[in-house]
Structure formats: structure tokens, C-alpha cells
């Protein structure tokens, strides 16, 4: 056990990566006849315990004090920007892609009240699925409403941008008829990554050119997506609403999303997007040069504004 032991210096708890059966076999080789159950009992008396991995280490950079200050500075910048837009009555939306889901008679984690168990497929192989959906959500932090664009293709920057534009056409323009500016809060990876030229171009080409909106985008620091409001205000409620319920077809998934609501007044709509999106889309230098992008003085790679032509 000498080289197989780990422990917590604060609590005194110890654990080993060896299974009790392996420990018992090693002892039996030394002439000590003992069962795996007895080994477990002895280990417990010695202060050992079954321990799981715990997600406690921040892996963005080296976790140094200067880096933490930079993260805090970005959080403060996002808070100030949200407050500024809120005072002016301008829309503030939080966006992200929810976990991809398989459509079919597959097990969905969780339990619901039933008089008997529901039989589902014994394996969740993607090849058995009717479809694989990418739910892209737009959460209005002011109105406490959400819209989910359920895509059946790839989660690309073009898909993300078109989902945001669809929200503006269906809800934003009616909710904020006099809006001139819009603030988008996004993560730091995936289809919302700040390095994506395609995301900027499609948002500029649609919201700025077609609707004359000034679009400000703030990205959360790497590894901080859980602070994005959509995660705990919209996606978590959708997950709770369909917990334990197989998403047997697309209509079922759409219905569960649309029926998501909370006592605080959350209401959600859903649209199905069957369009095919190309991966690794390239925006030409000529197209990119047309964009008018104003970088913020605070972390310009994470905070910038797309401007319509004057």
C-alpha cells in the first residue's frame, strides 16, 4: 500500500487506487488468507475511504494571482456593461449551445412518477438515433424569456448567428421596438468563440446591416461558462423539465422546451432549424475587411462592438 496511497492533509482521510480484491490477492500470496470484504473493513478502520474525483482545480493558465485578477476584471467589466444597457432599456441576451441530445427511445437521466418502469434502448449508440440535435439558446436577461433554436446539423458560428437573428425577428424587435444597441453575453469556446471571424461576420451582416443595430459582445473568461446566465436560468430548467423522459422524436423535444417555465415567470419558445451548416467555414479577406469592429480597451479580444455603416 506504500505507493498506492493518497490522502487529504486537512481531514486526514486516505484512499488507495487498488481494489479490495487486488489487495486480498496480494495478502493471500503472502500467506494471509483474507477476503475482499475483510480488506474493506480493515481499510475503513485504518482511515481509508472510497473517494471520487472532484473538480476543484482551475486549468485556465497556471491559476496565478495576476491571472485571477484578469478574470475578476473581465467579470466586473461584464457587470458594468450589463448595468449600462439595463439603465438604457436596451436588450441583454445570454447565448450558448446546450449539450447535444440523441433523438430516439434512449434513456434520459433522472426519475419521474410512473406506475411502472419505461423500457428504453439498452445502448445509446448514435447510429440508432433518429437525429442528433444541437439546441442553441438565447436567454433575455431583462424579460426573463428564452428561445431555443433546435438544429439538426453542425453547431457552427453561422448556426449560432442565425439563431440570434431568428430571436431578434421573432421576439427582440417586438420586445424592444426602439432598441439601437444589443448586448450579447457569450462563452469563450465552441460556436461562440471570440476568435471566430465567421460569427462576427454573420452577426454584422444580419443585425448591423439589415437592422442597423449596434452589437456589443462580451465573452466570459475561459472555464467560466457556468457564470453565463443562460446556463442556470434557462438550460438547467429545460433539463429538469425533460428529466427521465426519452426524447423519442423531434416534436417531443420541442414540446418539452416550449413547456419549460418557472414560478419566477420564465417562458420559453422553440423553433426547429433543419438547415445544413458547413463546418470550418472560411470568410474571405474581402468580406472580413467590410466589417466595422470596435475593440474595447478592456481585453479587446473578449470585448468588442460591431457597428453598422455610417
Per-residue pLDDT of the chain (310 residues; tens, 9 = 90+): 444 444 444 444 444 556 788 778 878 888 889 898 998 888 788 777 766 666 665 555 555 566 778 889 999 999 999 999 999 999 999 999 999 999 999 999 888 888 888 899 988 899 999 999 999 999 999 999 999 999 999 999 999 999 999 999 999 999 999 999 999 999 999 999 999 999 999 999 999 999 999 999 999 998 888 889 999 899 999 999 999 999 999 999 999 999 999 998 999 999 999 999 999 999 999 999 999 999 999 999 999 999 999 8
Q: Which pLDDT does position 55 carry in this prediction? A: 66
What is the C-alpha to C-alpha distance for residues 93 and 116, in angstroms, rounded to an integer? 42
Q: Are 308 and 214 in contact (CB under 8 A)?
A: yes
Q: What is the DSSP string of 142-190?
A: TTTEEEEEEESS---HHHHHHHHHHHIIIIIHHH-TT--EEEEEE-SSG
Hey, what domains does the chain have and what are their CATH numbers? 5-45 (no CATH), 65-306 (3.30.420)
How many residues are recorded in the chain?
310
Query: What CA dihedral angle connects 176, 169, 247 and 131, to 10 degrees?
Result: -150
- Rounded Cα–Cα distance for residues 196 and 190 (Å): 9
CA angle 127, 131, 135 (to 5 degrees): 130
Q: 261: which 3 cell numbers?
A: 417555465
Place of cell 450579447: 184
Residue 216 contacts residue 305 (beta carbons within 8 Å): yes
Determine the Cα–Cα distance for residues 229 and 239; give it in Å rounded to an integer. 15
- β-bridge mates for residue 186, sequence order: 219
Residues 129/102, Cβ–Cβ less than 8 Å = yes
Confidence (pLDDT) at 54: 67
Q: Which residues of 65-94 are buried (b: 16+ CB within 10 A; e: fewer)?
A: eeeeeebeebeebbeebbeebeeeebbbbb
Q: What is the pLDDT of residue 63?
A: 53
Residue 36's pLDDT is: 87
Helix, strand, or coil (residue 199): helix
Residue 66 pLDDT: 67
Are 83 and 245 within 8 A, CB to CB?
Answer: no
Amino acid at each position: 500500500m506504500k505507493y498506492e496511497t493518497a490522502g487529504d492533509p486537512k481531514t486526514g482521510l486516505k484512499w488507495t487506487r487498488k481494489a479490495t480484491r487486488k489487495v486480498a490477492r496480494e495478502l493471500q500470496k503472502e500467506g494471509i488468507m483474507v477476503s475482499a470484504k475483510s480488506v474493506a473493513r480493515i481499510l475503513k478502520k485504518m482511515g481509508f475511504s472510497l473517494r471520487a474525483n472532484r473538480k476543484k482545480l482551475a486549468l485556465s493558465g497556471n491559476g496565478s494571482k495576476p491571472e485571477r485578477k484578469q478574470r475578476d476584471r473581465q467579470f466586473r467589466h461584464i457587470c458594468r456593461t450589463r448595468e449600462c444597457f439595463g439603465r438604457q432599456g436596451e436588450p441583454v441576451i445570454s447565448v450558448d449551445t446546450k449539450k447535444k441530445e440523441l433523438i430516439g427511445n434512449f434513456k434520459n437521466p433522472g426519475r419521474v412518477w410512473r406506475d411502472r418502469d419505461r423500457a428504453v434502448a439498452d445502448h445509446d449508440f448514435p447510429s440508432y438515433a433518429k437525429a442528433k440535435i444541437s439546441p442553441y439558446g438565447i436567454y433575455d436577461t431583462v424579460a426573463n424569456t428564452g428561445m431555443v433554436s433546435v438544429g439538426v446539423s453542425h453547431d457552427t458560428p453561422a448556426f449560432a448567428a442565425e439563431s440570434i437573428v431568428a430571436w431578434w425577428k421573432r421576439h427582440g424587435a417586438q420586445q424592444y421596438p426602439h432598441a439601437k444597441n444589443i448586448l450579447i453575453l457569450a462563452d469563450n469556446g465552441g460556436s461562440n468563440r471570440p476568435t471566430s471571424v465567421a460569427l462576427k461576420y454573420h452577426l454584422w451582416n444580419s443585425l448591423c446591416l439589415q437592422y442597423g443595430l449596434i452589437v456589443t459582445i462580451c465573452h466570459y473568461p475561459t472555464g467560466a461558462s457556468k457564470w453565463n446566465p443562460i446556463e442556470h436560468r434557462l438550460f438547467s430548467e429545460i433539463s429538469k423539465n425533460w428529466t427521465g423522459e426519452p426524447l423519442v422524436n423531434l416534436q417531443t423535444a420541442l414540446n418539452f422546451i416550449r413547456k419549460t417555465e418557472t414560478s419566477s415567470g420564465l417562458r420559453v419558445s422553440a423553433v426547429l432549424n433543419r438547415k445544413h451548416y458547413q463546418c470550418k467555414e472560411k470568410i474571405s479577406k474581402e468580406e472580413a475587411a467590410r466589417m466595422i469592429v470596435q475593440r474595447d480597451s478592456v481585453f479587446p479580444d473578449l470585448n468588442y462592438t460591431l457597428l453598422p455603416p455610417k
